[in-house]
Amino acid sequence: MMNCLGRYLRLTTFGESHGTAVGGVMDGCPAGLRIDTGQVAAALKRRRSGDVKQESVTKRQEPDEVEWLSGLMEGVTTGQPIGFVLRNRDVRSEDYEALRDVCRPGHADFTYLHRYGMRDWRGGGRASGRETAARVVAGAVARQLCEKMWQGFKVSTCADEEHCVVCTVEGVPAGVGSPLFDKVNARLAHAMMSIPSAIGFEMGAGFAGATWDAATWRDEWNEDGTTRSNHCGGVQGGISNGMPIVFRTAFHAPVTTLEHMVCLNTREGRLQPVCTGGRHDSDHIGRLPSVVEAMACWTLADLGMEKFNGGGMGPMGRMGPMGPISPI
Amino acid sequence: MMNCLGRYLRLTTFGESHGTAVGGVMDGCPAGLRIDTGQVAAALKRRRSGDVKQESVTKRQEPDEVEWLSGLMEGVTTGQPIGFVLRNRDVRSEDYEALRDVCRPGHADFTYLHRYGMRDWRGGGRASGRETAARVVAGAVARQLCEKMWQGFKVSTCADEEHCVVCTVEGVPAGVGSPLFDKVNARLAHAMMSIPSAIGFEMGAGFAGATWDAATWRDEWNEDGTTRSNHCGGVQGGISNGMPIVFRTAFHAPVTTLEHMVCLNTREGRLQPVCTGGRHDSDHIGRLPSVVEAMACWTLADLGMEKFNGGGMGPMGRMGPMGPISPI
Amino acid sequence: MMNCLGRYLRLTTFGESHGTAVGGVMDGCPAGLRIDTGQVAAALKRRRSGDVKQESVTKRQEPDEVEWLSGLMEGVTTGQPIGFVLRNRDVRSEDYEALRDVCRPGHADFTYLHRYGMRDWRGGGRASGRETAARVVAGAVARQLCEKMWQGFKVSTCADEEHCVVCTVEGVPAGVGSPLFDKVNARLAHAMMSIPSAIGFEMGAGFAGATWDAATWRDEWNEDGTTRSNHCGGVQGGISNGMPIVFRTAFHAPVTTLEHMVCLNTREGRLQPVCTGGRHDSDHIGRLPSVVEAMACWTLADLGMEKFNGGGMGPMGRMGPMGPISPI
Amino acid sequence: MMNCLGRYLRLTTFGESHGTAVGGVMDGCPAGLRIDTGQVAAALKRRRSGDVKQESVTKRQEPDEVEWLSGLMEGVTTGQPIGFVLRNRDVRSEDYEALRDVCRPGHADFTYLHRYGMRDWRGGGRASGRETAARVVAGAVARQLCEKMWQGFKVSTCADEEHCVVCTVEGVPAGVGSPLFDKVNARLAHAMMSIPSAIGFEMGAGFAGATWDAATWRDEWNEDGTTRSNHCGGVQGGISNGMPIVFRTAFHAPVTTLEHMVCLNTREGRLQPVCTGGRHDSDHIGRLPSVVEAMACWTLADLGMEKFNGGGMGPMGRMGPMGPISPI
């Protein structure tokens, strides 16, 4: 996996906060999909809107203009990989000189150093929230693919006071996902916990539901195949049941808002107070709903490609040549 | 992914509860590792111990004897894929005849039907807890690999009253995991949520920590590179920091304990009361700690292979030919 | 990849010639396919027929009876992984004691030793032709899947005197394969060169065609979209064009037929004559056509799943919701 | 796979001949490798040199300047994905208007149309030789990684009159590659046959060797573990034996040099003569040696990462904690 998410629809991202650009390659998007680039721009703008709200905190400017490099002809996908780039501007790595030899608390400085034997000390590098801009681009494309696959597809989020983002996905039909490691819930958990500062994930009733007895937890049938409650969050045995898919992701507070830090100087092996004047991506909470939606769209589009395209025959009889499928 | 977990160390499992056998193939295990098959048997026995505790509930017998088919010579791994099988015995699918046309509430019957256009109505099929036996075998091998890689490697769990399993992993050095989609927390979330009936996952302080301010949440340094608290659960930026890795997984109550169910008859399109006399794997909670540990061992062994083997140079200078690495 | 072939349809094999069994797991086979196990048995019998022809040479007995472990219900695929095992019988590793410290010329002994720091000296281990039995099982299933996908699908081989196997695949429609690394020819080359003792591969006119000028090489159109010649072997730009797919694979002579060998004693660092009395899989040439066909079927089924299932929309309008596709 | 090559070291490429740019992402390159971008520029220049030789034929200008987007800090790899772009200039798609409705003979027009239900008619699109520029960039980085891993690593090619490229790789130690589908020869065959217009591949003595008897074919030992001949081309059982790796790839003549073509008009279902005035990448033969070398470097670097990093213990004792390795 490393920098790659998805199996049928594969997103590879690249780029650091203080390098030249962030970007990505979307591989596996079917040909013939007209991409509304306006929707992509809107998603990026929405991601940035959290920043705007708390302008005093976030000083960094990131004009997010997508440059589409390949895979589109006259606005329509050709089936070839879609490369795109978002340039970083206003990169002043000198702001970070003071951090060259020290590891900040609550950051990835120390762990990158141990992982790679070195680290990109210019800002958050790959660990920065900047990287999520590429995910939002991909998610905006995936959303359009989902809307083509499934009438009524709709993703919405609600961020509460406590750094939790509740996400509801409507319009995914029954039968998406696979039993073991491609469970919808497992794949969503993977995608959500890959977002910087994510610390918790739950489906439907989640942790609260874990305390209930079976009779309370169990979602009872209606005659039409819907259920009276939706404690399971729209997924049974890892596969969607046609009810809204509901999950919640928790994030911790942005640690970079604190101006005074006691850092670990790894060169001298001692603690060292540091006063940061850098322009950190501090308002990540405001951005998170758009990133959560992007990851949800990408994950469901990937799983949907398998189902829609007939990983199994399904009641829709997609794998027709194998014989008639009895309708349920 | 589908039925495959891991990238360097790849587990593929197969088998249904009421078929001939469950089993798996472990691909990528390095040569020269002496496997203590006694430890594997002990892990399987422990998985079953939950059943023993509540013998009145669980009537099904599963004598779990591992048959090793390949990849070992005189008890030592050869670097070739390790195939293994656990036979199912005491399979009486006639017990399930009554379920042939109905979908139980809280089960995967309905979703499998939509996913595949058919379903294996003999017990839980692939969705049954029986499948986790193969995971436990793989986890017991992965644990031994981790113990070889890392001195002091230790995994322990604590299951509480509320269907939550807290897992603590000690002995994983700093530098395991990767920034984006191979984050330790993301990969653990994926593995845990792939366990049947998992509905929530959190790292360290988790959902509670999401409500804290940055100063409370942030783990402050000690001079030796450890931290005073461990709210992050041993992972920063997706990479281990050398502190214990701590996470919690929530599961819902086993719905099969309820003898009376209102099912959905998909042939006739109506609700239908069913009284189940089948032998269901009802005490899955008792088994979960061993499955959680197995999945944790497999995931960390996989990520560890990359780090240990030099996915980066790391401070240990493993990629020596590239030049000396400055010690931190 | 290691022991895994395919992306949508994924075969993982395991097993050594002198271990307990060889076998495999087929992941991704769509649900609802009725498997004719008689055809699988026939393919295995045909693989062995080469042995029968030259009975004096091949002394080893391998009664190839497939044990189906999972993924089938009443002979029909359920969409779950299909595990299967072929037991090794008549395994007498004492025959190989003399080979414990020596590396035979023209064998994989030396390279395995360097790769793994040890080797399974009991017969060919993983390098033995025995492993191909698992491939033949998988290929026989894949062939049935191809036959369901494509009317008129037919694979035939012709082995000549010079250890070359020419394989012709009829009935694959235009549009299978992908431009870069999923080119039909690239994937076939990979699969064929993975067969023990393969040393050459060519498509259509192949090496001979490389000497031709463009006007000679180029296949001219008929009005119906077929071509007058088929020098390209049915593949243009990596994608099938609807003409028969034709390729040739070359194999070297079986080196184990030679009874006297000068081996390298790696313990003592000297050359050492060895007279082998082991029962080697010497008649691999007789078996190769069935293995070539199996690998061709698996590769095309895998690529076909992508196409058939709508990796792109294709002229058949499979991805219908995206709008009408103009017929060619 | 689609647009992705390699497992440990993963190259994803994107870009069409007449789009904005071609480029790629290299994922998995270890941190701490100093990249000589001059060598990359030289490799690109060499790729173009074939054009220069036959200037009258090739009219298209491609000033190949690499823009490095990520993964490097002060010229050293950080362990993060390396994104890069090569802009297309001088793109005049109006030259191709005449090809909008017709499929040229010997091209991928017809097959793309069937694969995707549409095609990028502006030049060769993804099938164009332009895409190989991204491969050459990646290969030049992989070559430097190989040189760091293995002292004496050297790749050289010799293109003959008959559109065959012989490639010799020196300095790869014994023990690289894996038994089944990661065989060095299988992986090289896959990579080579993925190059546009490749039609044949052979290792060592290849097709000629297939006619030899076992005694002639078999490479006999010297006492030091080298062999007297190298008919196998440096690979036994899919794993390198320390001898030079030698293989040959055949290509067909460039069909675009022919100005007059009888095309298939798919809109009107008839044959149609077309006189092409487009600027085609006609001199692909001159470019092929650099592309072959690039693919060889990438493939061996990928396989080498596994071996070097201890996919097995190997005689070098890399997986030391597992105990001492007996020297051969």
pLDDT of D296-317, one tens digit each? 999 999 999 876 544 443 333 3
D235-253 average pLDDT score: 97
pLDDT band at B96 (very low <50, low <70, confident <90, very high): confident
In this prediction, residue B308 carries a pLDDT of: 54
B204-230 average pLDDT score: 95
Six token digits for residue B251: 């599961």
Percent of chain D with pLDDT over 90: 64
Query: For residues C169 and D287, which has the higher predicted lDDT (pLDDT)?
Result: C169
- Residue C318 burial (CB < 10 Å; 0-12/13-18/19+)? buried
In this prediction, residue B278 carries a pLDDT of: 52
CB pairs under 8 A between A and D: 148
User: Which of D27, D70, D97, D302 is the best residue to mutate to test the A interface, defined by the most A CB atoms within 10 Å of its own CB?
Assistant: D70
pLDDT value at A250 more than 80: yes
Q: How far is CA A184 from the centre of its chain?
A: 14
Other beta carbons within 10 angstroms of residue C158's beta carbon come to 11
Tally of domains in chain C: 1
User: Which of C10, C16, C109 is the best residue to mutate to test the B interface, defined by the most B CB atoms within 10 Å of its own CB?
Assistant: C16
In this prediction, residue C284 carries a pLDDT of: 66
Interchain CB distance below 8 Å, A307 and B115: yes
Six token digits for residue B230: 């461990």
B260-286 average pLDDT score: 78
In this prediction, residue A284 carries a pLDDT of: 66
Range of the domain at C67: 4-252+282-309
With beta carbons under 8 A apart, name residues in chain A contacting B126: 179-180
Residue-level length of chain A: 328
Query: For residues B317 and A63, which has the higher predicted lDDT (pLDDT)?
Result: A63
* Pairing, β A21-27 against β A66-68: unpaired
Interchain CB distance below 8 Å, B199 and A185: yes
Tell me if C270 is assigned to some domain. Answer: no
Tell me if D51 is assigned to some domain. Answer: yes
Distance, CA of A226 to CA of A231 (rounded, Å): 13
> DSSP string covering C42-92, please?
HHHHHHHHHHHHTTTT--------EEE-SSEETTEE-SS-EEEEEE--S--
Tell me if D264 is assigned to some domain. Answer: no
pLDDT in tens, B148-205: 989 999 999 998 777 899 999 999 999 999 999 999 999 999 999 999 999 999 999 9
Backbone angles phi, psi at A65, to 5 degrees: -110, 125
Distance, CA of A98 to CA of A122 (rounded, Å): 10
- Kindly report the pTM of this predicted structure: 0.93
pLDDT band at D198 (very low <50, low <70, confident <90, very high): very high
In this prediction, residue D322 carries a pLDDT of: 29
B223-236 average pLDDT score: 97
pLDDT value at A242 more than 90: yes
What separation in angstroms does the CA of B42 have from each of A53, B46, B141, B290? 57, 6, 12, 10
For C223, which of D257, D270, D315 is closest by C-beta distance?
Answer: D270
B262-284 average pLDDT score: 78
Q: How far is A117 from chain D (nearest CA, A)?
A: 7
Backbone angles phi, psi at A286, to 5 degrees: -60, -30
Number of H helices, E strands in chain A: 7, 16
With beta carbons under 8 A apart, name residues in chain B contacting D79: 311-312
With beta carbons under 8 A apart, name residues in chain D contacting C204: 199
Q: How far is B33 from chain D (nearest CA, A)?
A: 7
Q: How far is CA A46 from the centre of its chain?
A: 14
pLDDT value at C3 more than 70: yes
In this prediction, residue C321 carries a pLDDT of: 29
Interchain CB distance below 8 Å, C12 and B25: yes
Backbone angles phi, psi at C218, to 5 degrees: -60, 125
Tell me if A153 is assigned to some domain. Answer: yes
Interchain CB distance below 8 Å, D80 and A120: yes
Q: How far is B91 from chain A (nearest CA, A)?
A: 21
Tell me which residue of B55, B46, B51, B58 sits closest to B137, measured CA to CA.
B46
Which residue from C minimizes the CA distance to B126?
C80
pLDDT in tens, C79-105: 999 999 999 976 666 667 778 889 999
Percent of chain C with pLDDT over 70: 83
pLDDT in tens, A91-145: 666 667 778 889 999 999 999 999 888 887 776 778 888 999 999 999 999 999 9
- Which residues, 6 or more positions from D209, have their beta carbon under 8 angstroms from its beta carbon? C199, C250, C252, D217, D231
With beta carbons under 8 A apart, name residues in chain C contacting D209: 199, 250, 252
pLDDT value at B51 more than 90: no
With beta carbons under 8 A apart, name residues in chain B contacting C126: 78, 80
B252-261, C41-50, C64-73, C261-270, range with the lowest pLDDT:
B252-261
Interchain CB distance below 8 Å, A180 and B307: no
Distance, CA of D280 to CA of B14 (rounded, Å): 51
Specify the 3-state DSSP secondary structure of C192. Answer: helix
Interchain CB distance below 8 Å, B30 and D309: no
- Which residues, 6 or more positions from B326, have their beta carbon under 8 angstroms from its beta carbon? A117
Tell me if A324 is assigned to some domain. Answer: no
In this prediction, residue C25 carries a pLDDT of: 98
B41-50, C90-99, D315-324, range with the lowest pLDDT:
D315-324
What separation in angstroms does the CA of C203 have from each of A144, A236, D160, D202? 40, 47, 20, 12
pLDDT band at A320 (very low <50, low <70, confident <90, very high): very low
Tell me if B205 is assigned to some domain. Answer: yes
CB C89 within 8 A of CB C82: no
B168-182, B248-262, B273-287, C198-212, range with the lowest pLDDT:
B273-287
For D12, which of A25, A68, A120 is closest by C-beta distance?
Answer: A25
Tell me if A303 is assigned to some domain. Answer: yes
pLDDT in tens, A284-303: 678 899 999 999 999 999 99
CB A105 within 8 A of CB B219: yes
What separation in angstroms does the CA of A63 have from each of A96, A292, B147, C328? 21, 21, 49, 43
With beta carbons under 8 A apart, name residues in chain A contacting B238: 108, 111, 127, 194
In this prediction, residue A277 carries a pLDDT of: 61
Q: What is the DSSP letter of D183?
A: -
In this prediction, residue B118 carries a pLDDT of: 83
Task: List, in sequence order, every residue forming a beta bridge with B272; answer none if it has no partner.
Answer: B263
pLDDT in tens, C155-177: 999 987 778 999 999 999 999 99
* Pairing, β C82-87 against β C66-68: antiparallel
pLDDT band at C312 (very low <50, low <70, confident <90, very high): very low
Distance, CA of C153 to CA of C147 (rounded, Å): 5
Read off the CATH number of the domain in which B287 is found.
3.60.150.10
For D311, which of B30, B149, B312 is closest by C-beta distance?
Answer: B30
The alpha carbon dihedral of C290, C294, C297, C303 has a sign of negative
Interchain CB distance below 8 Å, D32 and B312: yes
- Residue C324 burial (CB < 10 Å; 0-12/13-18/19+)? exposed
Chains that touch B (3 or more CB pairs under 8 A): A, C, D
Tell me if A51 is assigned to some domain. Answer: yes
C201-206 average pLDDT score: 98
- Which residues, 6 or more positions from A63, have their beta carbon under 8 angstroms from its beta carbon? A89
pLDDT band at A34 (very low <50, low <70, confident <90, very high): very high
For C310, which of A179, A309, A312 is closest by C-beta distance?
Answer: A309
